[in-house]
Structure 1
Amino acid sequence: MGRTPLDAPERLREVFAAVLDVLAEVGYARFNMDLVASRARASKASLYQRWPSKARLITEALKANLPELPQPDEGTFAEDVRQIMRSWSEPMPFDTAGIFLGLLEGSRQDADLAYLREEHIDRAYTEHLRVAVDRAKARGELPESLDADILITALISTFVLRSDEQGVTDSIVDGLLRPLIG
């Protein structure tokens, strides 16, 4: 009996889970196809045949595991951010902080990963926050001069680095964001 092909949905999920687990455990520099192949019970050749670089494999794994990201309109910036971050908090079977740190490390070393991460992953997370910032500026909740990129980076970074803490979303919104915006 032969192995299930890599393009079968259940095999892809297994491979992508192995990719994200390995990235979180060893970081980008030590990440390699041998580790993924062993963990996913796949051949290294079949991985390279489908994904010519570790940057592309990691990006595909991340894209396949993006949570459902809503575009809430709760009437206030703080509540929009709360709903967006709650969608990020959906039970995630992966080490979010480990993955994030691996991506940051890899993006400094690998221009292809930096480009793919920015194009496919960062946009997915920042797009909804950017809409919320624009609406908040239009409502007068945030000053027009506010640097949206800095605020979004601060929100995402704080969330990711504290993602394993209970109640992180409420802590960020009520303990950081609300005092900042008044």
Structure 2
Amino acid sequence: MGRTPLDAPARQQEVFAAVLEVLAEVGYARFNMDLVASRARASKASLYQRWPSKARLITDALKANMPRLAQPDEGTFAEDVRQIMRAWGEPQPFDTAGIFLGLLEGSRQDADLACLREEHVDRAYTEHLRVAADRAKARGELPASLDAEVLITALISTFVLRSEERGVVDAIVDGLLRPLIGTFRAK
């Protein structure tokens, strides 16, 4: 009797779990189909048959394991950011910081991964912040000329790099964002 095919949802999730574990453990440069095949008890040929590159396999694994977030509307940009980041900080079965660091490393080396990451992962994670920033601009909390993409990148980068710290969301919102918003309003 053969193994369950890789397109079966439960089997595919096993493969995706192995992908994310390997990426977090070894990074993108050392990530390979052999490691995933061994961890997922699958053949390397069957992985390549379904995913022609490690960039596509990683992207599909991330898309399948992306948290579903509601768009908060707390009345202020700072509180919207706090709610979004708290949702990001919910316990995940994977090493989120390790995965994002592996993605960043890989995106510098692999143009295909960079494109796939931007299209499928970055947009999903940043869309809630973009909506919150647009609302904040409309309310006058943030200047209309503010490059929201730079602010969003700064917030995400700080969160990823410090995600293991206790109270990181409150530190980002209260120690970084609120003073920054106050500076914007003072101008």
Give TM-score scaled by structure 2 length. 0.95
The Cα offsets for residues 94-150 of structure 1, whole Å up to 9 and x where unpaired, read as 111111111111111111000000000000011110110010011010111211011
CA distance in 1, matches of 2:164, 2:76: 26
Q: Note the C-alpha offset of 1:164.
A: 1.3
Q: SS state of the match for residue 70, structure 2?
A: coil
Percent identity between the two aligned chains: 88
Corresponding pairs, count? 182
- 2:122 is the alignment partner of 1:122: yes
Q: Is the 8 A contact 1:67 1:90 kept in 2?
A: no
Q: Note the C-alpha offset of 1:166.
A: 1.7
Any gaps of 5 or more consecutive residues in structure 2?
183-187
The Cα offsets for residues 67-109 of structure 1, whole Å up to 9 and x where unpaired, read as 0121111100001101111111121111111111111111111
Any gaps of 5 or more consecutive residues in structure 1?
none
| Amino acid paired to 1:85 | M
Q: Note the C-alpha offset of 1:175.
A: 1.4
The residue that corresponds to 1:40 in the other structure is 40
Give TM-score scaled by structure 1 length. 0.97
The residue that corresponds to 2:161 in the other structure is 161
Q: Point out 4+ residue stretches in structure 1 off by more than 2 angstroms.
A: none
Structural mapping, 1:1-182, within 5 Å: 1-182=1-182
Q: Note the C-alpha offset of 1:12.
A: 1.2
Q: Note the C-alpha offset of 1:13.
A: 1.2
| Amino acid paired to 2:55 | A
Q: Note the C-alpha offset of 1:2.
A: 2.0
CA distance in 1, matches of 2:70, 2:173: 17
Instruction: Give the stretch that moved more between structures: 8-17 or 34-43.
Output: 8-17
Instruction: Give the stretch that moved more between structures: 134-143 or 168-177.
Output: 168-177
Q: Is the 8 A contact 1:18 1:40 kept in 2?
A: yes
Q: Note the C-alpha offset of 1:33.
A: 0.1
Q: SS state of the match for residue 146, structure 1?
A: coil
| Amino acid paired to 1:82 | R
The residue that corresponds to 2:185 in the other structure is none
